[in-house]
Amino acid sequence: MAVPLVYLDPYYSKIVNEIGDKILEKTRVFNPSANVWRFLRPEDLGLTAVESGGSYKFAVAPGVTTIISVKINPGLGVGIIGVICDSDFGSGAAMIVKVNTVKRAEYPLAPVYNSQYKFGIFPDQVAYAKQNDRLEVVVANTSGSTVTGTIFPIGIVAGEAKTLLVAE
């Protein structure tokens, strides 16, 4: 998974910490008691955790497919900053993030899939969704056939420590 690598590399760690702090600051506008941020977990997006039998593999037909659509819980802010991808969805493939049906970010999948660690962080494209917003993750598969593979957004969730189950 990408998270440990982010902490091992000082360059990425600095970038992610700065983005996390900005997401927390935006979240405090509507939730003044927000005091912490953490990395996005599958459960935050309505997915079942792996230890409970879940999987982050999706079968994506050619064309555009919505793989995640979730309403952000009250008091939380979510920033999507990148993607994990272990499958070849084609040369022009992308993971698109929409907030309330408006496209906010588009992450190319080919360079991520072809990278050593299968993840990419894009600090110039942070898609932010606040409480009660609808967050959608869409995959554009240009391979010409159905591809089954892991594809998951790298993100940051900001809110109160007790809500995020984070020690203060």
Give the three-state DSSP class for 157.
Answer: strand
- d(CA 77, CA 81) in angstroms, rounded, equals 13
Render pLDDT for 46-83 as a digit per residue (tens, 0 to 9).
887 666 666 778 899 999 999 999 999 999 999 999 99
Selection from 127, 21, 28 nearest residue 75 by Cα = 28
Q: What is the DSSP letter of 51?
A: G
Total-model pTM: 0.90
Sign of CA dihedral 110, 150, 63, 43: negative
- d(CA 123, CA 142) in angstroms, rounded, equals 25
- d(CA 95, CA 60) in angstroms, rounded, equals 11
Nearby residues of 75 by Cβ (< 8 Å), 6 or more positions away: 31, 33, 34, 131, 159, 160, 163
Render pLDDT for 74-118 as a digit per residue (tens, 0 to 9).
999 999 999 999 999 999 999 999 999 999 999 999 999 998 888
Among all chains, which residue has been given the structure tokens 């999948």? 109
Q: What percent of the chain has pLDDT over 70?
A: 90
Residue 67 has a pLDDT of 93
Fold of 2-164: Jelly Rolls (2.60.120)
Q: Give Cα separations from 166 to 26, 80, 99, 152, 158 (angstroms).
A: 19, 19, 26, 22, 11
* Domain ranges (residues) in the chain: 2-164
